[in-house]
Amino acid sequence: MLPDLKTMLVVNPHAGGGRGRRIFPAVRELLEQGLGTMDVRVSEHAGHAFAIGREAVENGYERVLCVGGDGTPFEIVNGIYAEGRPRRAIELGLVPAGTGNSFLRDFSVFSWRQAVEGILAGKRRRADLVEISYFRGREEVRQYYLNILGVGLIADILKLTNEKLKGFGRASYGLAVLLRLAKGMRNRLRLEVDGEPLEIVDSALVVSNSKFTGGGMNIAPMADCGDGKVDLVIFQEVDRRDILAIFARVFKGSHVRHPRVRTLRAGAIAIDGEPRQLLMADGELLGRTPLRLQVLPGELVVLA
């Protein structure tokens, strides 16, 4: 059973093309049957859930339940940690309503009803949180993510999808991959992985705290969001043919056996290079390298 904690229920009604709005009445009814009355907040626009997360800290909430996709908890957590680690830990419950819902797949949670049942049953798991610092223009920014960080190619594909291809629906991501590959890969990246130097060229990489991204893409099949490490997946010295072959295998996770894919595990990573690489975390476009990353082991209590 869940303890009696001051609880906030947050919904992103726009998640999943309006799915958040459609399922919310049923989600709220079931949660209130088990937990009693909760304070409800509606995330009305991009960035609003960040302010809601700050409010949760300022007003002493002990549990935040959010109905949305991967971007909603990303904003909430960054609001909670906007002034650094909160004095009082806040439990985080996730109810999937987005298009991807990648993070919850690591908990074998695939539906909103399954998520609600887990929350009401008091299922808890400690999960790592990843702290990052990077540059947005000339300003250095500190943020946090739960799921995945994409450096270079992956972020470029997301940017292209968001800006020009959303009208193509489910085909938009695959089309963005093909269009981005037409530009080729030209870069030189310098990394420190737990203090060990590494230089790679014409490469892209992801830094995963959990296994999945984009819904069903098993991008880091060896990842464990509670092991105190992130998993670095490097697409090293790849050309268009390599990327297409890797992409074809990514849903099964067998891409990690491709000769151009390298995997590493670390608690701290630094990334710099030429040209500066675009960054993406949990489906949200950020800024550019240089980047520093540190895992905060077991920082979050996730209800799932």
Q: For 256, which DSSP code?
A: G
pLDDT, residue 291, reads 97
CATH class of 130-298: mainly beta
- 87: number of Cβ within 10 Å: 8
- Residue 173 CA to residue 191 CA, distance in Å, equals 28
Say which residues have a Cβ less than 8 Å from residue 70's Cβ, sequence separation at least 6: 98, 100, 101, 102, 103, 146, 147, 282, 283
Distance CA 268, CA 132 (A): 10
Compute φ and ψ for 303, nearest 5 degrees.
-90, 105
Query: In angstroms, what is the C-alpha Rg of the chain?
Result: 19
Amino acid, res. 259: P
pLDDT digits (tens, 9 = 90+) for 121-131: 989 999 999 99
- Spatial distance between the Cα atoms of 10 and 13, rounded to a whole number of angstroms: 10
Residues lower than pLDDT 70 in the chain: 1-2, 166-167, 169-171, 173, 215
Q: Given this model, what pLDDT does residue 101 score?
A: 83
Gap between the Cα atoms of 268 and 170, Å rounded? 35
- What is the fold, at CATH topology level, of the domain defined by 7-122? Rossmann fold (3.40.50)
| H helices present in the chain, as ranges | 15-35, 48-58, 71-80, 102-105, 112-120, 153-160, 172-181, 240-249
The DSSP code sequence of 186-248 is: --EEEEEETTEEEEEES-EEEEESSS-BTTTB-S-TT--TTSS-EEEEEETT--HHHHHHHHH
Render 26-50 in DSSP notation, one character per residue: HHHHHHHHHH---EEEE--STTHHH
Stated length of the chain: 304
Give the span between the Cα atoms of 276 and 50, in whole angstroms: 27
Q: How far apart are CA 243 and CA 239, in angstroms?
A: 6
Residues 6+ apart with CB under 8 A from 288: 134, 135, 136, 276, 277, 278, 279
202 to 124, 219, 235, 236: CA distances (angstroms): 41, 19, 9, 7
pLDDT of residue 1: 57
- pLDDT for residue 170: 61
Tens of pLDDT, residue by residue over 80-99, are 999 999 988 899 999 999 87
Task: Please state whether 215 falls in left (phi above 0), alpha (psi between -120 and 50) or beta.
Answer: left
What is the reported pLDDT for 35? 92
Would you state the pLDDT for residue 174?
A: 72
Domain locations along the chain: 7-122, 130-298
- Cβ–Cβ < 8 Å for 75, 49: yes
